[in-house]
């Protein structure tokens, strides 16, 4: 997928320090990064290197201690909490390792819920939910509860929930972490196909095999970007 060379995400000198019991933990140190519309980027590195902290900042779930984050050319550091929540709901799709589906809601209702928070009309919600479930091959399971699905199917529903809002970027945090290799491969194939249709994807992974699905891998170690690697021939 060729990018449009339009900057979607830009970090300049982003640092994150956690203070606990008078101990300073530098989770991120001077991160510079730019991600363009239409890219599929992996953030790779060992456990505890700062990958998930970085993704939390990108998803507006956390704020940097220092540095600047631009989303769609807008600095986000001055946003109020309601403004951050609104951008998260409208512009960012989240895919988590643990699926984060609500157990007593059906597949359909899980995908619909973020759209309901937007105040979207029922007819538009129905169209979007149906299209998203079809796109991930789960339309036939719309009335099932999460407990009636396999792990791979639950992750497909989680992807549909992220897609339904037509976000500017999909943020995937170890999306294959709780899946066996067969289901992990199937979810990666799904993300690969979404990227081919124009989705911008940023994926955190510690698995080099899955990182190869992306066009570019940003390697993080001890809270710093240590290497960037462009895949000459992303998987498939």
Chain segment 79-111, per-residue pLDDT in tens: 999 999 999 989 999 998 888 999 999 999 999
Predicted confidence (pLDDT) at residue 209 exceeds the cutoff of 80: yes
Q: Does the domain formed by 7-230 have CATH 3.10.20.30? A: no
Predicted confidence (pLDDT) at residue 122 exceeds the cutoff of 90: yes
Q: Which of 27-41, 77-91, 220-234 has the lowest mean pLDDT?
A: 220-234
4, 38 Cβ separation under 8 angstroms:
yes
Confidence (pTM) = 0.89
Predicted confidence (pLDDT) at residue 168 exceeds the cutoff of 70: yes
What is the per-residue pLDDT for 203? 95
What is the per-residue pLDDT for 84? 93
pLDDT band of residue 77 (cuts 50, 70, 90) is confident
What is the per-residue pLDDT for 233? 59
User: Among candidates 59, 155, 147, which has minimal Cα distance to 111?
Assistant: 155
């Amino acid at each position: 997928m060729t990018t449009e060379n339009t900057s979607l995400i830009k970090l300049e000198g982003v640092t994150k320090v956690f203070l606990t019991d008078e101990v300073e933990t530098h989770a991120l140190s001077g991160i510079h990064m730019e991600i363009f519309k239409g890219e599929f980027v992996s953030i790779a590195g060992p456990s505890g290197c700062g990958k998930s902290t970085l993704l939390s900042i990108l998803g507006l779930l956390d704020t940097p201690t220092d540095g600047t984050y631009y989303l769609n050319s807008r600095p986000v550091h001055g946003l109020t909490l309601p403004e951050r929540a609104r951008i998260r709901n409208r512009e960012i799709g989240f895919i988590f390792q643990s699926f984060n589906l609500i157990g007593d809601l059906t597949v359909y209702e899980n995908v619909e819920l973020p759209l309901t928070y937007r105040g979207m009309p029922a007819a538009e919600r129905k169209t979007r939910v149906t299209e998203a479930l079809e796109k991930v091959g789960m339309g036939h399971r719309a009335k099932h509860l999460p407990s009636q699905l396999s792990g791979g199917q639950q992750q497909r529903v989680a992807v549909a929930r992220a897609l339904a809002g037509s976000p500017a970027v999909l943020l995937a945090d170890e999306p294959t972490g709780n899946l066996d290799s067969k289901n992990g491969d199937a979810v990666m194939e799904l993300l690969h196909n979404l990227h081919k249709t124009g989705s911008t994807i940023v994926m955190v992974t510690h698995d080099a095999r899955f990182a190869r699905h992306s066009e570019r891998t940003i390697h993080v170690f001890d809270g710093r970007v240590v290497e960037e690697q462009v895949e000459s021939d992303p998987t498939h």
